[in-house]
């Protein structure tokens, strides 16, 4: 369990954009350890639909249309890399819009129930999970998960103080 920097790059949602970002990382000698890609307008549309179903509208219909137009051709690519400083410099030089945030990296035993046990520990420690992504190959002994939390340093302290192992 450790803290890493996640870089979120905002790119055009079109063929070849992932290739371009990967080339930028390759030329900077940066290895991508984890990645998540999300289409901005698809995410917003799901949010809007959910809000409509619950009657908890967050904006007027005309505002929805305006926001959707602004995001229709954008995606966010979140990456965790081996050399964060070099990656940020390369992304800046390539003129990508981006931001960074701390994330918690956990290597878990790759077996049924492990992620649920961890989620229970987060709940016991009153740690909210903003989002998570991760993966392993089916036969691997370990899986890697990236947790975006409100406060990674605080979460690390809380999890250290719980009985058991993360």
| pLDDT band for position 42 (cuts 50, 70, 90) | low
On the question of pLDDT at 89 being above 80, the answer is yes
User: Tokens at residue 5, please?
Assistant: 């920097």
Query: What was the pLDDT predicted at 50?
Result: 58
**Domain coordinates of the chain in residue numbers?**
15-101, 102-160
Looking only at the bridges linking them, the beta strands covering 2-12 and 74-81 are: antiparallel
- Is the domain 102-160 a CATH 3.30.70.260 member? yes
Fold of 15-101: Alpha-Beta Plaits (3.30.70)
Q: What is the pLDDT of residues 68-83, one digit of tens each?
A: 555 567 888 999 999 9
How big is the CA angle at 100 (ends 160 and 13), to the nearest 5 degrees? Answer: 125
Q: What is the pTM of this model?
A: 0.80
pLDDT number for residue 130: 93
102-160: same fold as 15-101? yes
What's the average model confidence in pLDDT over 95-116? 94
Work out whether strand 142-148 and strand 97-109 pair parallel, antiparallel, or are unpaired: antiparallel
CA–CA dist 65, 61 (Å, integer): 6
115 within 8 A of 125, measured Cβ to Cβ: no
**Is the pLDDT score of 38 beyond 90?**
no
């Amino acid at each position: 369990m450790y803290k890493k920097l996640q870089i979120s790059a905002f790119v055009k949602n079109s063929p070849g954009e992932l290739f371009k970002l990967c080339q930028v990382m390759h030329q900077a000698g940066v290895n991508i350890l984890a990645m998540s890609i999300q289409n901005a307008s698809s995410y917003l549309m799901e949010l809007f639909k959910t809000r409509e179903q619950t009657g908890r509208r967050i904006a007027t219909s005309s505002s929805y249309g305006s926001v959707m137009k602004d995001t229709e051709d954008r995606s966010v690519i979140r990456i965790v890399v081996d050399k964060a400083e070099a990656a940020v410099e390369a992304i800046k030089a390539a003129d990508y819009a981006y931001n960074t945030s701390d994330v918690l990296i956990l290597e878990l035993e790759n077996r049924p129930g492990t992620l649920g046990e961890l989620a229970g520990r987060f709940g016991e420690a009153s740690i909210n999970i903003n989002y998570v992504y991760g993966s392993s190959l089916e036969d691997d002994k370990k899986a890697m998960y990236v947790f975006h939390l409100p406060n990674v340093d605080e979460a690390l302290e809380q999890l250290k103080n719980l009985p058991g192992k993360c």
